[in-house]
């Protein structure tokens, strides 16, 4: 089974040709190893250069920095195919859809020359460190500081729930460069920290209830000295940078959620047609067909909305509240699909050997990361 893209409006023939390459990579390199990587709690770094060689990483990076200079639709294709065929959380979307965008948009020429080719090739894996213990979605409340000392910053603090935390070679760290200024957001900056800097330590690879292969980690910074040239863009503008890139980040989450929901649905249709109860396939019970019919209708609406949002984003028209709404709606749909599909699996659905069980566990966090869905409602509500 594969995603049916014949009726899609967000993609052209070039996107679909690229999709075939992505799909083959996911089916050959990722899916057969998904269960083992879940057990290991990390995707091996060796996978990244393989993806880079095929153009799967950071396709929007301009050609002068080693990229393909393509539109975000290519990122979305990778996200969809990884969610549908990969069966495991790779960390590619964080790297390609979020971090690469920050460096491309706000990095100095030196930063772009140094890092973007490595991001494209998979030589360097990236993370972005926003969340801290006790702050959650409240970025203005962060406590990690970067104090000036000569021509260096000295960073102290800790971060948690950081995707790619164990594998990352470069971390974009959100810090307070000014702890006195009001409002507090004016004191936020983003600083590039290389993982080999003295004083930087990786904490635990956190034990999650899902997305087991994602190396979600604690990170610690103890008197980490970095040159002031490692500041991304202007000092004190970090909060504005973060807010400006959030529509794409939340659209990326919506894309993956929709594709994962479709995969769960397709697998469940197959399962219910093969599994028998009371002498006939589970699919032949009216309740089963009605549940699946309802989900199919909602998935149909979801794909139409997703293409609308992708087309809006392609013309830079997608607003912050529209990105928030996409994240809210598609992750809520993902959870509904996963939960009802697991129910239709009966007892098998509760067994980790079945894909639906792992997909159900992985889906729970999508309503939390990228800003909780409650925060999404708050952001949308402010614009009413």
Which three-class secondary structure state does DSSP give residue 285? coil
From the list 62, 194, 173, 170, the residue with the least C-alpha distance to 120 is 62
249 belongs to the catalytic site = yes
User: Which residues are 146's β-sheet partners?
Assistant: 155
Q: What is the C-alpha to C-alpha distance for residues 95 and 85, in angstroms, rounded to an integer?
A: 19
Pairing state between β 170-176 and 126-129: parallel
Q: Are 237 and 215 in contact (CB under 8 A)?
A: no
Find the catalytic residue in 235, 245, 249, 322.
249
Spatial contact of 145 and 132, defined as CB atoms under 8 Å apart: no
The answer to whether 99 and 192 are in contact (CB under 8 A) is no
What gap in Å lies between CA 166 and CA 243, rounded to an integer?
Answer: 26
Query: How are beta strands 152-162 and 217-227 bridged, if at all?
Result: antiparallel
Beta strands in the chain (DSSP E): 126-129, 145-149, 152-162, 170-176, 188-194, 200-205, 217-227, 276-277, 280-281
DSSP labels, 166-213: TT-SEEEEEEES-SS-SSGGGGEEEEEEETTSTTEEEEEE---SS-TT
Q: Phi and psi at residue 75, in whole multiples of 5°?
A: -60, -45
For 133-140, the CB contacts below 8 A with 24+ separation are 133/158, 133/160, 136/372, 137/371, 137/372, 137/375, 139/174, 139/185, 139/188, 139/239, 139/242, 140/183, 140/184, 140/185, 140/188, 140/239
**3-state SS class at 226:** strand
At residue 155, what are phi and psi to the nearest 5 degrees?
-100, 135
Report, as residue numbers or ranges, the catalytic residues.
249
């Amino acid at each position: 089974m594969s995603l049916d893209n014949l009726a899609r409006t967000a993609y052209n023939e070039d996107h679909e040709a690229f999709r075939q390459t992505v799909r083959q990579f996911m089916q050959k390199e990722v899916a057969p190893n998904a269960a083992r990587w879940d057990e290991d709690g990390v995707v091996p770094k060796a996978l990244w250069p393989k993806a880079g060689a095929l153009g799967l990483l950071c396709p929007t990076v301009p050609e002068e920095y080693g990229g393909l200079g393509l539109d975000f639709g290519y990122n979305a294709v990778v996200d969809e195919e990884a969610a549908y065929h990969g069966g495991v959380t790779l960390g590619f979307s964080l790297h390609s859809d979020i971090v690469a965008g920050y460096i491309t948009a706000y990095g100095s020429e030196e930063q772009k020359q140094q890092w973007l080719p490595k991001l494209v090739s998979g030589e360097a894996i990236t993370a972005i460190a926003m969340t801290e213990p006790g702050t959650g979605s409240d970025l203005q409340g962060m406590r990690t500081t970067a104090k000036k000392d000569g021509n260096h910053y000295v960073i102290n603090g800790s971060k948690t729930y950081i995707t790619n935390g164990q594998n990352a070679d470069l971390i974009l760290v959100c810090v307070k460069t000014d702890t006195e200024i009001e409002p507090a957001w004016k004191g936020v900056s983003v600083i590039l920290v290389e993982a080999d800097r003295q004083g930087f330590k990786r904490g635990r690879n956190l034990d999650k209830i899902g997305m087991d292969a994602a190396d979600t980690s604690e990170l610690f910074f103890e008197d980490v000295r970095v040159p002031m040239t490692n500041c991304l863009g202007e000092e004190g503008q970090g909060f504005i940078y973060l807010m400006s890139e959030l529509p794409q980040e939340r659209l990326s989450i919506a894309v993956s959620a929709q594709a994962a929901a479709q995969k769960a649905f397709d697998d469940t249709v197959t399962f219910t047609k093969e599994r028998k109860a009371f002498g006939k396939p589970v699919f032949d019970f009216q309740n089963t067909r009605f549940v699946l019919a309802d989900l199919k209708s909602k998935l149909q609406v979801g794909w139409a909305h997703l293409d609308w949002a992708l087309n809006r984003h392609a013309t830079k028209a997608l607003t912050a509240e529209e990105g928030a709404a996409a994240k809210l709606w598609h992750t809520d749909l993902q959870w509904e699909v996963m939960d009802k599909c697991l129910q239709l699996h009966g007892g098998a659905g509760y067994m980790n050997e079945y894909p639906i069980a792992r997909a159900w566990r992985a889906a729970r966090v999508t309503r939390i990361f990228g800003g909780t869905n409650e925060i999404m409602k708050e952001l949308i509500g402010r614009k009413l």
